[in-house]
Amino acid sequence: MLFVFILVVFTGVFFYAYITGGDSRALSMFAGDGVGVLQIEGAIDDSQSVLAELKRFKEMPWVKAIVVRIDSPGGAVAPTQEIFEEILRSKKQKPFIASMGGMATSGGYYIAAACDRIVANPGTLTGSIGVIMQLTNVEELMKKVGVRGVNVKSGPNKDIGSPFQPLSPEGREILQSLVDNVHSQFVTAVAKGRGMSEAQVRKLADGRVYSGAQARQLGLVDQFGTLQDAIDIAAKRAGIDAEPAIYYSRPEQERWWERIFMGVFGYRLPRPEGGGWLRYEWSPSLLQ
């Protein structure tokens, strides 16, 4: 009878964990102390889901350390900065180790720099410490189809970047000043996170991409290793002697038709992009 009761409780707990996406409160009853893996994948256009998962890990007493697994080209400036600042605050409570996958460039590196230690593969693409703003001018195209854009504005610079007119020298100067300012914020953040001088970082911050091996030589990465290596480092820093349990952040829920589309065509439905056109991002598509 006792065996049946235990079996029912055990089954109920794991069924609850299953329907809630692997709820750590349920799983921790059996798994014990461990390491949370915060997954940051794809373009960073919004910070809310990452911050929510980070908050969840911070509030779990059985999650003793956090590995930030990054496979991202970067993204919008403000969401990247929000994640960076939250990691800086949170690592006062728990160790944070960055684990770089195939790519952790620009905003992806920005976030990694906030962690206590950065683990990468020799072939990881990283660096790209810089800012890009892309504007499109369709003035000549609109002339061909007989359409002319008209701007009614409150000031001479309100329509900077309009696709219906060329960028004036004054407008270019204003936008370049904006890009330079945001770039300086990037340099300051990396210097703060990595314990380097701003002069050291600025020498490396011309936007170029580095391999993991190059980044290690330059002091942007601490060591080579896999995700499991990063988990082991985090567990050791947290004082976990036994094999740590691993708690993964919950991926963004996809709707049933999105899962069907992925199964049939092999890629996800495109989603609206957000975050604006001032970006900490590297991608070959941005250079075309």
What is the C-alpha separation between 122 and 211, in angstroms, rounded?
Answer: 6
Amino acid 130 reads G
Q: What is the mean pLDDT of residues 31-55?
A: 91
What is the C-alpha separation between 270 and 171, in angstroms, rounded?
Answer: 33
Whether residue 91 lies inside any domain: the answer is: yes
Are 103 and 126 within 8 A, CB to CB?
A: yes
Q: What is the mean pLDDT of residues 257-275?
A: 46
Kindly list the catalytic residues: 106, 158
What is the C-alpha separation between 111 and 176, in angstroms, rounded?
Answer: 24
Q: Is 32 left (phi over 0), alpha (psi -120 to 50) or beta?
A: left
pLDDT band at 259 (very low <50, low <70, confident <90, very high): very low
Whether residue 239 lies inside any domain: the answer is: yes
Whether residue 213 lies inside any domain: the answer is: yes
**Which domain does 214 fall in, by range?**
24-129+167-252+259-287
Residue 241 tokens, joined: 């002697």
* CA angle centred on 269, ends 267 and 274, rounded to 5°: 120
Q: Where are the alpha helices (DSSP H) in 32-156?
A: 48-59, 77-90, 107-112, 139-144
Whether residue 160 lies inside any domain: the answer is: no
Whether residue 203 lies inside any domain: the answer is: yes
Q: 132-159, pLDDT tens digit by residue?
A: 998 888 878 777 888 887 888 888 888 8
Whether residue 159 lies inside any domain: the answer is: no
Q: Residue 226 maps to which CATH number?
A: 3.90.226.10
Residue 56 tokens, joined: 């969840």
- Specify the number of domains making up the chain: 1
CB neighbourhood size of 171 (10 A): 18
pLDDT, position 157: 85
pTM over 0.85: no
pLDDT band at 283 (very low <50, low <70, confident <90, very high): low
The one-character DSSP state at 94 is: S
pLDDT, position 12: 56
Q: What H or E segment, with its residue span, contains residue 202?
A: helix 198-204
Amino acid 175 reads L
What is the C-alpha separation between 176 and 110, in angstroms, rounded?
Answer: 21
Whether residue 137 lies inside any domain: the answer is: no
Whether residue 3 lies inside any domain: the answer is: no
